[in-house]
Amino acid sequence: MSHLAGAVLRRPRPSQWQIAERRERDRLLTDYLGRWRARLSALGARRIWRGSAWYWELKPDLKPGEVIAL
């Protein structure tokens, strides 16, 4: 029998530096997704359920040959 039998293993607590890095990553991702949301909203984009899947209509009034810059 191992000398660790019955021992409780605990996760090490993250350092303040690791917590700050995680917050910074979260903030950057939140800002990035917010800009995407704003751009899609400006284009009038919408999600449409068709059959058994979702698809995106990025610009409802799209004209042939028009380029969509995201």
* 51 CB-near residues (< 8 Å, 6+ apart): none
- Whether 5 and 18 have beta carbons less than 8 Å apart is answered as no
With 90 as the cut, is the pLDDT of residue 69 above it? no
And the tokens for 23?
A: 């917050």
pLDDT digits (tens, 9 = 90+) for 16-60: 888 889 889 899 999 999 999 999 999 899 999 999 999 988 888
| Angstrom distances, CA of residue 60 to CA of 39, 41, 53, 57, 64 | 14, 12, 19, 6, 12
